[in-house]
Structure formats: structure tokens, C-alpha cells
Structure 1
């Protein structure tokens, strides 16, 4: 499949979901520039590789996690080539053993479905029930690529804009870890 890079939001919004449009609305309101690629649904890290190559970025893995009691929820952003080891992360954030969060909680808290997990989902976490965790290595990257709450598009934003504009607007602070 051939991919085309577009600047900003799509002009034809008839086929777009409300949550995707809300993502573009907030990015535009914050004057955050982004590039966009529309594509078939990408549900795995392997499927996302081509988009990252076109954007000339390192792959970012987004994981929705919870503690054993399912009372605390986390969104972990880490380099796509790193293996996730729960004990390494659990120790750094002072949490009981972590596991992947249930689909129902991900949808309830972030309005996201499997395969579309993204930092953009924090737009819908108005009560700050999901703690963002970012691997230090990602902060050294100039750009971050993620889905705009739907896995049929990918957007590339400046990492600095996510940290300095997007997260403060949502009232979210990230815990920085070294995995």
C-alpha cells in the first residue's frame, strides 16, 4: 500500500470518528503542528513499522496497564524495540505487579480500543484516572508518532509539543522512568 503524508487534519471528515475529530480539534486549538498518514487499521507493532519508516521516526510502544487490584491505571510510552518487563517498571513507580489493563477499562477511561492505544486518549481522561509514564529514551526523540484515538491514521508531533503544550492543557503530568 502507498502512504501519503498530509499536513494537519483531514478536509473530508465524513468518514472520521468523533474521537478522532476531537483529537484534531485540540491539537489545532493548541497550535500544535502535526503530519498525518491515513492507512488500513494497524493493530500490531509490526504493522506500524512502515508508517514509522515513512515519518523517519523511532517506533513508540503504547501500553495500557493496571495494578493487580485494578484500582490504578497507567499508560506507558516506551521505545518500540524495548522489551516490557513489569518488575522493572513496578519498582520505579512503587506499584504492585502490573499487568495489561482490561479492554473495558481502557475504553471507559480513554475511549480507546485495542490497537489504537495512544497518548491522545488522555483527552478523554478528564478525572486523571490514568497515570502517564514515559521512558526517558523517548524524550530524547524529536518526534513522537501515535494514533489520533483510531488506528486508521497516524500522526507525527514534536515530542516537545506533547510535553509542553498537550499534557499541561489536559492537566496530566508524566512520570519519567528508565526501562
Structure 2
């Protein structure tokens, strides 16, 4: 699979998982550190719209705001810093992530909105747990007034307002709930 080249001004779904689907997060401390590194390395060069951290994978939705070379290097620094810290903390060696992080360019607003909801509902999709209570998605940060790396106002504006943002998530959550009941 040829990797999409990151381009300034474009929005991307960035995701990856642990090599051989192994966990990349084994504690809340790991997830908090990953978010700290995201803030340090990526947020200064990209607009962050959504994230979700699961035990063996993650999803990010970002817009590239700086030159592509700078952003590519910031992602490299981000993932390398996290992998080194994780390996040291868990007494392991070798690659943590699959070879390259995946990236898909988002070319229309409707798909972008669907992707935000998909990312936030990932805990429901993979573990059938309440996405509204799951700590490691950007859903709560979108609804909070606390400082965040997210472009919260921009995200909410895609949905019209805060109430519609909640409504769309709840509707999609009901769809997933029905899917689980049928399986």
C-alpha cells in the first residue's frame, strides 16, 4: 500500500496499531503520556480534531498546518519518543508500531463528520463499552470548557452546535447498539 503524502492544508485520518496487534498502551499512564507527546510534537504543527486511544491502536484526525516536511518529522519524533518510553517502561525491545502510520486524506465535510463520530465511538465498536464515559477519546474534551489541544469550536461548528454534536453521536451509538444485539 502506497502511503499518502501529508500535504499542508489537508485533513487526515491518522491511525496505527501495535506490531502483530499487540498492546501499545497497558496503563492510563501510557495513554496520558501519548497525549502529552501529541500535544508537544504534533499540535504545534497540526490542528487536532479528534482522537481515540485503544489498547492496541489509536486514531487521530488532524489538519496539516505547517510544511509537510516539518509535520512528517514531528510525527516521527512523536512516535519514536512514545515507543522508546513504552519499551523502557515495559522492559521490551524492538518495534512497537506497525511499520508506517496509516493516513487517509479527507476530501469532504460529510466524511469528516462521520469520521469524528467513528473515532469517538471506537470504544463501543471494539469493546461494547460506553463511549461517553471512556476517558481516552476527544468526545468529552469537545463538550468541556477546559483547555485542550483540540480545535473544539471548529469541531462543534461542523455539527452546527453542541446539541447536534451530542445528538449525532447518540444516534450512531444507537445504531451500534442494535448491531451488537443482532450479532
User: Given the two structures, how large is their TM-score scaled by the length of structure 2?
Assistant: 0.30
Structure whose residues are more often strand by fraction: 1
Larger radius of gyration: 2
